[in-house]
Amino acid sequence: MQNQKGRHIRPALPQLHGVLALDKPSGPTSTACLTAIKRLGQKKIGHAGTLDPLASGVLVVLLGEATKIAPYVMEGEKAYLGELRLGMTTDTYDIQGAVTAEAPWEHVGQAALEAAVAAWKAETEQEVPPYSAAKHQGRPLYELARKGLATPVKRKKISVFDARLEHLALPSATFRVRVSAGVYIRSLVHSLGKRLGCGAVMTALTREASRPFELRQAHGLEDILADPQSLPGRVIPLEAALPHWRTVALDADAAALVRQGVRVRAGREAFAGENALLCDEDSRPLALARAEEADGGHRWAILRGLFGDPQPARRGGRTVPERTSTPNTGG
């Protein structure tokens, strides 16, 4: 196809439904990366967990109906490889911010730095950076900070599962850390600098995993843009987007009820609180569901409808047995 000026135009791809593990480059914002992919015909698009412009690595992009599963993808733990520099503090807690203080760092040795990194595992809350997307009265903190307005100090609960020093070249060092969703690695580095009394800033960061997706599965943005027609083959289908959830195939009657929001009966192997992806006989995803105790057994309560949200269930709606129940291998 050509436009009026005779230039070749690639036809837009149809809307895809699934997850794209994107290897975000350092530099552009997460929003800019999504905008580039959106231009390939992906009007319904989102992501599960923002990466700062400085950061690279796994950015989980959600396409089409997969945007509805964002809360369940975002809750997975994250793994990072980072770099820090001692002797400096900035307003953004990373090397891209304005320097607010400098201090001698020569008193810090390897043992002290190793202990300071390991101490992250004991932290249960952290200060949200003033330059962040966290909101105050509906406005992002970074918007207030850029205008020179006072930003409220916000703290949040966190979990750090593992943290260790990887390489030392003072005043710089690299580290690996595995954390719960929503942890600001910049804030961990900032807290380390305060404990050591010399300040510290993050100088580089790569997200190696956003569970269940890993960097080895991720695709480069430039590779995608250079060959848009390859995008469908790079997208993980919706039915494999939650490999840690069980997949339950329903017969036609049960599938019809799920589309109406009716809680259908779960099999004997289901347990209270279990999550599952409900599909029809053709493996087409219908809904995300959770098993709840009812009538001496369990029913699948709808968490989120897919490919057309189910209608609210009527009270007293009947239940039917599921046809089959098989584990989701994520293949």
Q: Are residues 82 and 186 in the same domain?
A: yes
User: Is 70 exceeded by the pLDDT of residue 3?
Assistant: no
Query: What is the pLDDT averaged over residues 239-246?
Result: 91
pLDDT at 144: 46
Residue 330 maps to a domain: no
Strand 200-210 vs strand 56-63: parallel, antiparallel, or unpaired?
Answer: parallel
Q: Are residues 187 and 251 in the same domain?
A: no
The pLDDT mean for the chain works out to: 85
Q: Are residues 27 and 105 in the same domain?
A: no
Q: Are residues 167 and 224 in the same domain?
A: no
pLDDT at 295: 79
Q: Are residues 40 and 61 in the same domain?
A: yes
Residue recorded with tokens 């932290």: 123
Alpha helices in 150-241 (DSSP H): 185-196, 221-226, 231-234
DSSP string, 223-273: HHHH-GGGHHHHSEEGGGS-TTSEEEE--HHHHHHHHTT--EEPPTT--TT
Phi and psi torsions of 44, nearest 5°: -100, 105
Top pLDDT among 318 and 298 is at 298
Q: Are residues 57 and 87 in the same domain?
A: no
Residue 317 maps to a domain: no
Q: What CATH number is given to the structural domain containing 258? A: 2.30.130.10
User: Is 60 exceeded by the pLDDT of residue 323?
Assistant: no
User: Is 50 exceeded by the pLDDT of residue 329?
Assistant: no
Q: Are residues 190 and 91 in the same domain?
A: yes
pLDDT band at 331 (very low <50, low <70, confident <90, very high): very low
Q: Is the dihedral of CA 66, 67, 69, 75 positive or negative?
A: positive
Domain boundary among 210, 227, 258: 210
pLDDT at 296: 81
User: Is 70 exceeded by the pLDDT of residue 314?
Assistant: no
pLDDT at 319: 34
For a pLDDT cut of 70, what percent of the chain falls above it? 82
User: Is 50 exceeded by the pLDDT of residue 328?
Assistant: no
Query: What is the pLDDT averaged over residues 27-41?
Result: 95
Residue 197 maps to a domain: yes
User: Is 70 exceeded by the pLDDT of residue 220?
Assistant: yes
User: Is 80 exceeded by the pLDDT of residue 236?
Assistant: yes
Residue 57 sits in which domain range?
Answer: 18-75+215-238
User: Is 80 exceeded by the pLDDT of residue 272?
Assistant: yes
CA distance 147 to 130: 12
Q: Sort 129 into a burial class: Cβ within 10 Å, 0-12 / 13-18 / 19+.
A: buried
Q: pLDDT per residue over 68-116, tens digit each?
A: 999 999 888 999 999 999 999 999 999 999 999 999 999 999 999 999 9
Q: Sort 128 into a burial class: Cβ within 10 Å, 0-12 / 13-18 / 19+.
A: buried
Q: Is 73 helix (H, G, I), strand (E, B) or coil?
A: helix
pTM, 2 dp: 0.82
Residue 174 maps to a domain: yes
The one-character DSSP state at 2 is B
* Domains: count for the chain: 3
Q: Is 113 helix (H, G, I), strand (E, B) or coil?
A: helix
> Among the listed ranges 78-87, 187-196, 293-302, 311-320, which one has the minimum average pLDDT value?
311-320
Q: Are residues 186 and 96 in the same domain?
A: yes
Q: What CATH number is given to the structural domain containing 203? A: 3.30.2350.10
Alpha helices in the chain (DSSP H): 30-38, 70-74, 110-118, 141-146, 185-196, 221-226, 231-234, 252-259
pLDDT at 322: 33
Kindly report the length of the chain.
Answer: 331
Q: Are residues 106 and 68 in the same domain?
A: no
Q: Sort 313 into a burial class: Cβ within 10 Å, 0-12 / 13-18 / 19+.
A: middle
Q: Are residues 189 and 254 in the same domain?
A: no
Residue 155 maps to a domain: yes
Residue 318 maps to a domain: no
Mean pLDDT is highest, among 62-76, 119-133, 166-180, 289-303, for 166-180
Q: Which residues form the catalytic set? A: 52
Residue 259 maps to a domain: yes
Residue 311 maps to a domain: no
Q: Sort 85 into a burial class: Cβ within 10 Å, 0-12 / 13-18 / 19+.
A: buried
* CB-based contact 166:175 (threshold 8 Å): yes
Query: What is the pLDDT averaged over residues 165-192?
Result: 95
Q: Are residues 155 and 180 in the same domain?
A: yes
Q: Are residues 251 and 293 in the same domain?
A: yes
Residue 122: C-alpha distances to residues 50, 79, 125, 196, 210 (Å): 25, 17, 9, 16, 22
CA distance 147 to 164: 37
